[in-house]
Amino acid sequence: MTSFPTRHGPSYTRFGLIVAALVVALDQLSKWWILETVMQPIPHVVEVTPFFNLVLVWNYGVSFGAFASGAAYMPYVLSGIAAVIAVSLVAWLRQADRRLMALAIGFIIGGAAGNVIDRLRFGAVADFLDFHIDSWHFWAFNVADAGISVGVAFLLLDGLFAGREKS
């Protein structure tokens, strides 16, 4: 029987799960606002600043539209993969012994969960944040995507500075 190593010291699991829940709530609230108010009666471009627009783009794939096959079962396949990853991240979160690591994992879990909710509700993910320089536009993204990206950045920072913290 496999046993997980035990850890002594503070548990950051609850903290990470609260972060995840906040990311999901902010993501779903922002998508509701975009879908039900800003993009009504028909989707359009809202110029907020000279470098930032609100748009509505349905992403049927994963990051940057990869794996967007159009097959009816793909939202379920992608949601299943994301769910397995999220469960693995929760197991990792349970072992987190640093606040920054728990924060990072919480951001990633929350972002993944937010996009899974979209896939199961709509069959695609609603992206609406459009940053650009002149006519060059970065891929549209959403709060969940930002949560995943911020979480990965925090994981990198945690990895860079974790050894210094203990010495």
Return the higher-pLDDT residue of 161 and 26. 26
pLDDT above 70 (res 150): yes
- Using only the alpha carbons of the chain, give its radius of gyration: 18
| β partners of residue 60 | none
Question: 126, 34 in Cβ contact below 8 A?
Answer: yes
Q: Which of 127, 130, 134, 158 is catalytic?
A: 127
Question: 15, 98 in Cβ contact below 8 A?
Answer: no
Which pTM does this prediction carry?
0.84
Does residue 12 lie in a domain region? no
Q: Is 118 a catalytic residue?
A: no
Return the higher-pLDDT residue of 68 and 12. 12
Residues with Cβ within 8 Å of residue 37, at least 6 apart in sequence: none
Q: Is 127 a catalytic residue?
A: yes
Does residue 124 lie in a domain region? yes
| Full residue range of the structural domain in which residue 24 is found | 17-166
Does residue 126 lie in a domain region? yes
